[in-house]
Amino acid sequence: MSRQTGPKASKPEPLATPMEEGIIDFEIIELFFFAYRDFVSDPDAILEKSGFGRAHHRVVHFVNRNPGMTVADLLDTLKITKQSLARVLKQLIDSGYIRQVAGPEDRRQRKLYPTKSGRELALALAEPQSRRIERAFEGASAEVREGVKAFLSGMRDRQRAD
């Protein structure tokens, strides 16, 4: 479809009707938007006080969940480039939340560990999220919880054996 330019280009008609439900489940999509917005809102407020953002949150979370993981492992987990990680990781190291240690066999390998402050930050960020999850599961059976976990696992692009 070609796009007209210049003085005679027609303006697209505005559509006044919402997209209709059909093969696309807009309700679930919107629930994801709102759930994600609210799920990250508490950690975002905590991170903002330190001048950090969601990328810092992800790094702090995964380093605390996997102390000693390599930078390569973290890049693979987050699916980001070295350049994207470098600034965030430097800020977390300089702020004393993460320590980077050379590998015992290969000095070029960089292993990442949380510090006590990094562990405290990770817990401070996870606690409001955990409370939100528990409120959502209030009164739900163990089967419902397992179903939600299966659903969320199914949403991932790449399944991992845990």
List of residues 6+ apart from 124 with CB closer than 8 A = 46
Please tell me the total count of domains within the chain.
1
Q: In what order do the strands lie in the sheet with 110-114?
A: 69-70, 110-114, 98-102
Q: What is the pTM of this model?
A: 0.83
d(CA 138, CA 38): 17
Domain membership flag for residue 65: yes
d(CA 83, CA 23): 39
Domain membership flag for residue 95: yes
Q: With H, G, I as helix, E, B as strand and everything else as coil, classify residue 113.
A: strand
Domain enclosing residue 104, as ranges: 31-137
First to last CA, the chain: 47
CATH number at residue 108: 1.10.10.10
Domain membership flag for residue 159: no
Contact indicator for 157, 96 with CB cutoff of 8 Å: no
- Average of per-residue pLDDT across 7-23: 84
> Could you read off the pLDDT of 56-114 as tens digits, one per residue?
999 999 999 999 999 999 999 999 999 999 999 999 999 999 999 987 777 778 999 99
Domain membership flag for residue 145: no
